[in-house]
Structure 1
Amino acid sequence: MLRSGKVFLLLLLAVVLVGCNQKVEVRTDDAFVSAKKAFELNSKKTNQTVGEIDFYKPPTLRIDKESISQKIVLTKRNDSFYLTVNPNEQKNSQVYYDVLLTDEPDHLIGAQTFSKDDAFGFVAVIQKGEKQVELIANVGGAKVETVTNEANTDAYLEKMMEIARSVQHDDQ
C-alpha cells in the first residue's frame, strides 16, 4: 500500500510539472480558443461606466482612480490592464488589427481574428521577455492590453475579450 502511494505521488508530481512547463505556444492556442468563445458568446453585460464608456469589469479587477474615458486602467495584483476606446470606430473596425499587421512585432507568437454579428475582433500574444508576454484583445475600437507572466495567457485573454466585447459608448 505504501509503495502504490509513492507511485501515485510521483505521477501526480510529474503531471503538475508538465502542466507548469507548458510552452507558451500551447498556452496561446488554449487562450485563443477561450477568447473566441468569449467573443462569440458576447454574454457579459456592462456593469461599469467611466466617462461615456460602459463596459463589463470582472469582479477580480479594480478600476484605477486615474482612469479617463478613453484610457481606462484596471488592475489585478501587480498586473495592469489598459482599456483604450476610440469612440469613432465601430464594432466592425479593423484599424487596430491593421496597425498590428503593419507594425508586426518581431516576437509575435500568434494572432487570431474573429467576426460575428457585424463585429470584428482579434487577440494577439507577443513575447516580451523570457517569461513575459504582451496580450492584446480587441473588438472594433476597444482594445485591452497587458504585459504579464506567460502562465496567465489563457485566463487573461478570455477576461480581456469579455471586456473588449462588452464596451458600449454614446457614438455607437
Structure 2
Amino acid sequence: MFRNGKVVLLLLLAVVLVGCNQKVEGLTDEGFVAAREAFEANAKKTNEAAGDIHFYKPTTMEVDKQSTSQTIVLTKRNDSFYLTVNPNEKKNSRVYYDLLMTDEPENLVGAQTFAKDEVFGFVAVIQKSEKLVELIASVGGVKVETVTDEKNIDSHLGKMMQIARSVQQDEK
C-alpha cells in the first residue's frame, strides 16, 4: 500500500510540473505572436528622447531618472525595462542574438527570430526562478530586457518589441 502511495505522489508531482511548464510555454507562444506582430508592423512613432536616442515610450511606462546615454530605464508598476543601444550596430545586426545563443542559457524557455526589409530582430524567454522570467526583445543593436513574473510574458514582449523597433539615433 505504501508503495502505491509513492507512485501516486510521484505521478501527481509530475503532472503538476508538466502543467506549470506548459503554462509558461503557452504564455511564451502568445508573447512571441505579439512580438512578431510588433516587429512586422511599421515602427511606432517616437515620442521620447534620451540624449541622441529617440524611441517610442508606451503611455503606461515612465522614464527613470537614473537613465544614462548607454542604458535607458523604463518602469511600469514594479517592473523595470532596460533599453540598451549599441550605436556601432546596424538594424540587421545579429550580435545580441549570437551572444545569447553562444551562451545558450540552460533555462532558455524559447527564442524566436524575425527578419524584414534587412532588419533582424528576436525575442527570448529565460526562466530565472519558479515564477520569474527574463524577457529580451532586440532589433539590430537595440535590446530591451526585463525580469518579471511569468504571467507578464504575453503582455510585455509585444510592448518591448515596439520599443526596440522604434529606436532612432541622431547621426554624429
Task: Tell me the CA shift for residue 43 of structure 1.
Answer: 3.6
Q: Percent identity?
A: 70
- Aligned-partner Cα distance in 1 for 2:113–2:47: 26
Kindly state the Cα deviation for residue 42 of structure 1 after the two structures are TM-superposed.
2.7
The one-letter code matched in structure 2 to 1:67 is S
Deviation track 1:22-43 (CA, whole Å, cap 9, x = no partner) reads 6100110111011000000034
> Structure 2 CA distance, aligned partners of 1:156 and 1:135?
8
Does the CA-based 8 Å contact 1:25-1:109 persist in structure 2? yes
In structure 2, the residue matched to 1:29 is 29
Instruction: Please give the residue correspondences for 1:90-129 in structure 2 after superposition, counting only pairs within 5 Å.
Output: 90-129=90-129
Letter in 1 for 2:149: N
Q: State the one-letter code of the partner of 1:167.
A: V
Q: Displacement, 1:170?
A: 2.0
Question: Alignment partner of 1:84: what SS?
Answer: strand
Distance in 1 of aligned mates of 2:160 and 2:97: 16
Work out the number of aligned pairs and report it: 153
Deviation at 1:126, TM superposition (A): 0.2
Q: CA deviation at 1:69?
A: 1.9
Cα separation, 2, equivalents of 1:171 and 1:131: 41
Report matched runs for 1:41-120 at 5 Å: 41-120=41-120
Contact kept, 8 Å, 1:49 with 1:55, in 2: the verdict is yes
Structure-1 residue corresponding to 2:143: 143
Aligned counterparts of 1:122 and 1:67: Cα–Cα separation in 2: 24
C-alpha separation between the residues in 2 aligned to 1:114 and 1:171? Answer: 26
Runs of 4+ with deviation above 2 angstroms: none
Q: CA deviation at 1:171?
A: 3.8
When normalised by structure 1's length, the TM-score is 0.86
Q: Deviations over 1:6-63 (max 9, x none)?
A: xxxxxxxxxxxxxxx9610011011101100000003411000001100000000000
Distance 1:55 1:165 in 2: 9
Q: Counterparts of 1:50 and 1:87 in 2: how far apart (Å)?
A: 14
Shift of 1:117: 1.3
Find the residue that maps to 1:121 and give its secondary structure.
strand
What amino acid sits opposite 1:25 in the alignment? E
Matching residue's letter, 1:99: L
1:161 deviates by: 0.1
Distance 2:146 2:166 in 1: 18
